Amino acid sequence: MPDIRVKICGVTRPQDLGAVAAAGGVYVGFNFFPKSPRYVSPETARVLSFEAPEGVAKVGLTVNASEAELDGIVESVPLDMLQLHGSESPDRIAEIRARYGLPVMKALGVASEEDLPALAEFSQVADQLLVDAKPPKGADLPGGNGLAFDWRLIAGRRWAVPWMLAGGLTPANVREAVHLTGANQVDVSSGVESAPGVKDPARIAAFVAAARE
Ligand SMILES: O=C(O)c1ccccc1NCC(=O)[C@H](O)[C@H](O)COP(=O)(O)O
């Protein structure tokens, strides 16, 4: 089995970066969605990004962000990848890739078979896919809800680009999720927190260890 690459999403403090690196995580996500409990301003993310250990890729997460918002983020923060977590179209993905010259990961929610064709479609325009749980109707947040989907829906499926499994992963279930889906990258937010927006170093370490078991 290949080494599992772990992304810890929604880091907000310098000590979170140290915890991710010490555990062996390879991506951190900065969340620029203002309604999120994990929100960081571009100014805060800039400071954090300079403290990120080498070898940890910095991913900027936005939700249907405007050009002005994206310009502000990309100008302030030295990012390695953009994660688009809204209802961005394939054309919008292409525009954003061309404008910023950064790899783009498109997040898509899965709840049933009907959600699978979009993954194939977006794999033609995005550099990576984030295969996440679909948020419940009326949810405030399009991600970070701590909900898992039925992993059997994507068991053995492959797309044209690298992909990450997300949604309700925890130190207790990530091993099974990896096993069932064949994912070699996983993403987690609420499953490694002690409270919304507060990452817990022990849970981060347990998550990375369990993902790689
Ligand atoms: O985490 C958030 O607050 C959030 C808000 C708005 C859009 C996306 C958000 N999170 C995106 C992520 O990449 C999460 O890690 C992913 O949805 C899984 O979250 P969780 O189920 O909490 O592990």
Digit-coded pLDDT (tens) for 152-175? 999 989 999 999 999 999 999 999
- pLDDT at residue 2 in the model: 55
Q: Single out the catalytic residue among 9, 150, 187, 200.
A: 9
Asked whether 29 lines ligand 1 (CB < 6 A), one says yes
- pLDDT beneath 70: ranges in the chain: 1-2
Please provide residue 162's backbone torsions phi and psi, each rounded to the nearest 5 degrees: -60, 155
What is the total count of domains within the chain? 1
Query: What type of residue is 95?
Result: E
CATH (domain of 31):
3.20.20.70
Pair 187, 181: CB distance under 8 Å? no
* CA 144 to ligand 1 center in whole angstroms: 3
- pLDDT at residue 111 in the model: 97
Q: Strand 198-199 relative to strand 193-195: parallel, antiparallel, unpaired?
A: antiparallel
Asked whether 8 lines ligand 1 (CB < 6 A), one says no
Q: Single out the catalytic residue among 16, 132, 150, 200.
A: 132
> Which atom in ligand 1 lies closest to the alpha carbon of residue 10?
1
- pLDDT at residue 1 in the model: 43
Per-residue pLDDT tens for 64-88? 999 999 999 999 999 999 999 999 9
* CA 62 to ligand 1 center in whole angstroms: 11
> Which atom in ligand 1 lies closest to the alpha carbon of residue 107?
13
Q: Cα separation of 130 and 168, whole Å?
A: 13
* CA 146 to ligand 1 center in whole angstroms: 8
Asked whether 109 lines ligand 1 (CB < 6 A), one says no
| 3-class DSSP assignment, residue 107 | strand
Query: What is the value of ipTM here, to two decimals?
Result: 0.98
Which range marks the domain in which residue 178 is found?
5-212
Residue 9 falls in the annotated catalytic set: yes
> Which atom in ligand 1 lies closest to the alpha carbon of residue 187?
15
What pTM value is reported for the model? 0.96
Asked whether 141 lines ligand 1 (CB < 6 A), one says yes
H-run or E-run covering 31:
strand 27-31
* CA 108 to ligand 1 center in whole angstroms: 11
**Largest separation between any pair of C-alpha atoms in the chain:** 43
